[in-house]
Amino acid sequence: MSLASGHPVIAIPGPSPVPARVLRAAHRASPDIYGDELAQLNLHVMAQLKRLAGTSAHLAPYIGNGHAAWEAAAANMFDRGDRVLVLTSGHFGQSWARQLEDMGIVVDRLDFGLAPPDPARLAERLAADGGQDLRAVLVCQTDTASSAMADIPALRDAMGDHPALLVVDAIASLGCAPMMMDDWGVDVLLSASQKGMMCPPGAAFVWFSDRAAARGATGLTTPYWDWNLRANAAPVGMWRFWGGTPPVQLIYALDEALRMILDEEGLFSVWARHAALARTVWAAIDAWGDGNPDIRACVDDPALRAASVTAVTLPGADALRAWVTEHCGVTLGVGLGAADPANALRVAHMGHCNAAMLLGTLAVMQAGMVALGIPHGAGALDAAAAVIAEPA
């Protein structure tokens, strides 16, 4: 029997749930794109996006997804033959490195498996870069495949006075976990609309510092990707921000979502909520694991886990994912890049996610384990609910 009819719960690491208010804001015919109202709205959204990233630096918006942000940033920072260092903690860091190589950039890698980057290894590696020809250090703040959380300030410290740019992919973390681009000395930051920003997919963003801007165009810089044109668009007009026709409906959606995050709940509260929801998931996993050592979070140390998604090793994960979808209306993330993907899954707690959605997700997971005969420890749901019950 299926008990799935009801509001579906999408617990995948993006596209994440879109608030009803945001969908409503986007439900409108294209307005007068010559009008001042839309131009002012666009400027406001740009300002909000800088608040979100904790920066007063430059911002180039793109119609695109996360992969567009990767290419946009690279096309402005690097030339073919430039050498960069990518710190990888899973599938997305590796994909990013390959995309850079496919653009003709020479990529060195420091691979941390499914763990977050170790600042000490970074420091060591940079110390060995005598000629300092590494143009940049690139890192995912959260690689959703492993759900490792990089410690960006520590990595910045580890870079010392090496001239490489620090480039952070915050696609799966911005709006979920702390990011203070200016305070932390991040040179280039990337993100997209469809995860912590709670919007439909379709917009990507690159924030960049004066230091990054100073490097100037390269042989890879094309008119469409050129971040200077977009970051300095205000006197020219809205179309310049977006390299042509602006994504009107998505601008309305971003405006509403950023108001919810920045002006209503408050960015610190949003971060705290994600942290609490993450600990809730971990409590359940720990309890299940007490009865089955093969159930465990991919990242051992809770201090190194992401706020927005938790990758889990769980025997029978594929069957469990299918069961909770068919019987309970919940979609869990696949075990992307795991050693044994059929026995891995990911639970997202990203963006528009509250205690009820998350506890419901954990509870149907347990129901599925019972139904499928997957061994697991007892008390997981009590433990999860207890985290929710904790005072702030």
How many Å is the Cα radius of gyration of the chain?
21
As a whole number of angstroms, the distance between CA 199 and CA 243 comes to 20
The yes or no reply on residue 330 touching a copy of itself (CB under 8 A) is yes
As a whole number of angstroms, the distance between CA 268 and CA 261 comes to 9
Tell me whether residue 11 or residue 122 sits nearer to a copy of itself (CB atom): 11
The yes or no reply on residue 314 touching a copy of itself (CB under 8 A) is no
The yes or no reply on residue 379 touching a copy of itself (CB under 8 A) is yes
Other beta carbons within 10 Å of 314: 27
Tell me whether residue 35 or residue 113 sits nearer to a copy of itself (CB atom): 35
- Which residues, numbered 161-200, are part of the site for a copy of itself (CB under 8 A)? 192, 194, 200
Q: How far is the CB of 161 from a copy of itself (least distance, A)?
A: 32
As a whole number of angstroms, the distance between CA 372 and CA 320 comes to 7
Number of helices and strands (H, E) in the chain? Answer: 15, 14
As a whole number of angstroms, the distance between CA 390 and CA 384 comes to 10
Q: Which of 124, 133, 265, 301 binds a copy of itself (CB under 8 A)?
A: 265
Tell me whether residue 119 or residue 247 sits nearer to a copy of itself (CB atom): 247
The yes or no reply on residue 33 touching a copy of itself (CB under 8 A) is yes
The yes or no reply on residue 247 touching a copy of itself (CB under 8 A) is yes
Provide the phi-psi class of 64: left if phi over 0, else alpha when psi is between -120 and 50, else beta. left
- Which residues, numbered 55-114, are part of the site for a copy of itself (CB under 8 A)? 63-68, 70-71, 75, 99, 102-103
As a whole number of angstroms, the distance between CA 207 and CA 191 comes to 9
Q: Which of 182, 222, 278, 319 binds a copy of itself (CB under 8 A)?
A: 222
Q: Which of 120, 245, 293, 340 binds a copy of itself (CB under 8 A)?
A: 245
- Which residues, numbered 271-310, are part of the site for a copy of itself (CB under 8 A)? 272-273, 276-277
As a whole number of angstroms, the distance between CA 50 and CA 374 comes to 46
The yes or no reply on residue 341 touching a copy of itself (CB under 8 A) is no
As a whole number of angstroms, the distance between CA 203 and CA 64 comes to 5
Q: Which of 155, 164, 270, 307 binds a copy of itself (CB under 8 A)?
A: 270
Q: How far is the CB of 302 from a copy of itself (least distance, A)?
A: 18
The yes or no reply on residue 361 touching a copy of itself (CB under 8 A) is yes
Nearest 5°: the CA angle 64, 70, 74 is: 125
Total residues interacting with a copy of itself, rule: CB under 8 A: 107
